Structure 1
Amino acid sequence: MYSFKNDYSEGAHPRIINALVESNLEQTPGYGEDSYTEKAVEILKQKIKRDDVDIHLFVGGTQTNLTAISAFLRPHEAAIAANTGHILVHETGAIEATGHKVISIDVSDGKLRPEDIKPALDAHTDEHMVKPKLVYISNSTEIGSIYTKNELEQLSKFCKENKLFLYMDGARLGSALCSEENDMELSDLGRLVDAFYIGGTKNGALIGEAMVICHDSLKEDFRFHIKQKGALLAKGRLLGIQFLELFRDDLYFDLARHANKMADLLKNEISRAGYKFLINSPSNQIFPILPDRLIEKLEENYSFYIWEKVDPDNSAIRLVTSWATKEENVLAFIKELKSVIDSEQ
């Protein structure tokens, strides 16, 4: 049974494992004050092309989101998210548990635009309602779409004009930035969003996300918030070592490019077989629409998520490739797909 369920089924890239083993018996300061973390932070600042950002390393995405959003918002303030947004759908109410409402916006492609957000601002008019203050976006989105530079520039401009913080979930940021349809660089995020994180867990790290705070007003006392939320890792060097390995050269981007390449191979062959997709997703998540009987056959040897029912006879499934996905496994899936199709003709 081979899994296309997610991009974190495997452990970590061998270089990271080796670096962790080689440093295993070293004694270093804790809580992210070690030399590895300091070097990793410095390299990330160089990549972002801003020396004035604050960078904090976390273990996972939900932990990062709930710590950041609850720190950035006052008690009566709320976040705005797409109806597919991770903080709305797949984080067990973590944001709400900190006392902040998440306002849902219906969109078809997972992306928020100014015209999507404005009605929510117009609807929340006074102190009898929560006050929208933060716009939450993901890149790539939860359904594999990505933001263009122009889209992000327009969103950034709108947020500034309306005194909203713009926050980007970057769990799959590597895949977004390495997509063939992408026209942004990591440094663009440093000027267009108020805070974002760089996802490591889903791009070759054992664990780890790097939170980047760009807006000065959001930086104060942030480590207090990290500690209070149980996110200040005593053995912080374990995170620093991983981000140092990922970013001291182009490993982070090489791994993301590989994941995208494997997804493109799947997408192209499924398309050639005559099947359509739920959405254009130029990243490492694809959503082909297949007959239910074909899905049942594929499930005998492959695991993946059935995303949604499209009609009585067809469903969209989610296939996710990773930094570790082997081309032979992709080709084997395609071969079986074609074999099942041929057997039914």
Structure 2
Amino acid sequence: MYSFKNDYSEGAHPQILKALMESNLVQEDGYGEDQYTLKAIELIKEKVGRTDVDVHLLTGGTQTNLTAISAFLRPHEAAISASTGHILGHETGAIEATGHKVLSVDCKDGKLTPDGVKAVLEGHPDEHMVKPKLVYISNSTEIGSIYKKEELKKLGGFCRENNLILYMDGARLGSALCSDENDLQLNDLPELVDAFYIGGTKNGALLGEALVICRDSLKADFRYHMKQKGAMLAKGRLLGIQFFELFRDNLFFDLAEHANRMAGMLREALIQAKVQFLTHSPSNQIFPIFPNSLIAELEKKYSFHVWEKVDADYSSIRLVTSWATKEEAVEGFIEELKKWM
């Protein structure tokens, strides 16, 4: 059984494991004040092209989202998310558990627009309702789409005009930036969004996300929020070492490019087989629509998520490739597909 279920089924890239092992008996300060974390933070600042940002390393995406969003918002303020957004449907109400409502916007392609956000603002006009304050987006999105630079410029401009915080979930940021359709660079982001994180868990690290806070008003006391939310790892070196390895050369992008290439092989074979897709997703997640009978056959050899029922006879599945996906596994899936098609 080979898994196309997610991009964190494997452990970590050997280069990261080697660095963790070689540094294992070196004594270091805790809570992110070790030499490895400090070096990683400086390296990330260099990569994003801004020395005035704050960088914090946390262990996972949900933890990063709930810690950041709850820190950025006052008690009566709410977040706005696409209806497919991770904080809305896949984080067990983590944001709501911190006292902040998540307001949903239906988006066909999983991407928020100024018009969608404007409609939420108009629907919450006064103090009898929560106050929309933070706009949550992810790149790539939950359905594999990516934001183009002009889209972020327009959304960011609208947020600034309306005194909103624009926050980007970057769990799969590597895949988005390495997509053939992408026109963004990592160092564009501090000018376009107020805060974002760089996902390591889904791109070759054992665990870890690097939160980058760009807006000065959001920076104060953030380590207090981390500690209170259980997000300050005593052995912070484990995160620092991994992010240093990911960014000291091109490893972060090499791994994302591999994941995208494997997805591209699958996508091209499906297109040639005239398979329809639920959504346009130029990243490492693809959503083909198959007859339910074919899905049952494929499930005998491969694991994946059945994403959405299309009608009585057809469903969309989600295929996710990773930094470690084997080319022969992709070729095997394609051959199996051809046999049953």
TM-score, structure 2 normalization = 1.00
Post-superposition CA distance 1:238-277 (Å, at most 9, x none): 0000000000000000000000000010000011111110
- 2:138 corresponds to: 138
Deviation at 1:90, TM superposition (A): 0.1
- 1:279 corresponds to: 279
Q: Which residue identity lines up with residue 48 of structure 2 in the other structure? A: I
1: CA distance, partners of 2:219 / 2:314:
48
Post-superposition CA distance 1:135-180 (Å, at most 9, x none): 0000000000000000000000000000000000000000000000
Q: Which residue identity lines up with residue 306 of structure 2 in the other structure? A: I
- 2:183 corresponds to: 183
- 2:38 corresponds to: 38
Runs of 4+ in 1 over 2 A off after TM superposition: none
- 1:328 corresponds to: 328
Post-superposition CA distance 1:60-91 (Å, at most 9, x none): 00000000000000000000000000000000
2: CA distance, partners of 1:333 / 1:107:
31
Q: Secondary structure at the match of 1:329?
A: helix
- 1:112 corresponds to: 112
Deviation at 1:5, TM superposition (A): 0.1
2: CA distance, partners of 1:102 / 1:87:
8
- 1:163 corresponds to: 163
- 1:92 matched to 2:92? The reply is yes
- 1:304 corresponds to: 304
- 1:19 corresponds to: 19
Q: Which residue identity lines up with residue 334 of structure 1 in the other structure? A: I
Q: Which residue identity lines up with residue 158 of structure 2 in the other structure? A: F
- 1:268 corresponds to: 268
- 1:64 corresponds to: 64
Q: Which residue identity lines up with residue 296 of structure 1 in the other structure? A: A
2: CA distance, partners of 1:193 / 1:163:
13
- 1:201-240 to 2 correspondence within 5 Å? 201-240=201-240
Deviation at 1:220, TM superposition (A): 0.2
Post-superposition CA distance 1:36-67 (Å, at most 9, x none): 00110011001100000000000000000000
1: CA distance, partners of 2:126 / 2:273:
54
Deviation at 1:280, TM superposition (A): 0.6
2: CA distance, partners of 1:200 / 1:124:
36
Deviation at 1:188, TM superposition (A): 0.7
Gap runs ≥5 in structure 2: none
2: CA distance, partners of 1:192 / 1:47:
15
Post-superposition CA distance 1:269-290 (Å, at most 9, x none): 0111111100110000000001
Deviation at 1:311, TM superposition (A): 1.2
2: CA distance, partners of 1:110 / 1:175:
16
Post-superposition CA distance 1:210-252 (Å, at most 9, x none): 0000000000000000000001000000000000000000000
2: CA distance, partners of 1:45 / 1:2:
38
2: CA distance, partners of 1:61 / 1:314:
32
Q: Secondary structure at the match of 1:17?
A: helix
- 2:319 corresponds to: 319
Deviation at 1:312, TM superposition (A): 1.2
2: CA distance, partners of 1:85 / 1:129:
22
Post-superposition CA distance 1:88-117 (Å, at most 9, x none): 000000000000000000111100000111
Q: Which residue identity lines up with residue 187 of structure 1 in the other structure? A: N
- 1:339 corresponds to: 339
Q: Secondary structure at the match of 1:63?
A: helix
| Matched positions, count | 341
Q: Secondary structure at the match of 2:310?
A: strand
- 2:80 corresponds to: 80
Superposed CA RMSD: 0.4
Deviation at 1:307, TM superposition (A): 0.4
2: CA distance, partners of 1:25 / 1:46:
28
1: CA distance, partners of 2:313 / 2:123:
40
Gap runs ≥5 in structure 1: none
- 1:195 matched to 2:172? The reply is no
Q: Secondary structure at the match of 1:311?
A: coil
Q: Which residue identity lines up with residue 192 of structure 1 in the other structure? A: L
Q: Which residue identity lines up with residue 336 of structure 1 in the other structure? A: E
2: CA distance, partners of 1:228 / 1:141:
29
2: CA distance, partners of 1:107 / 1:280:
13
- 2:125 corresponds to: 125
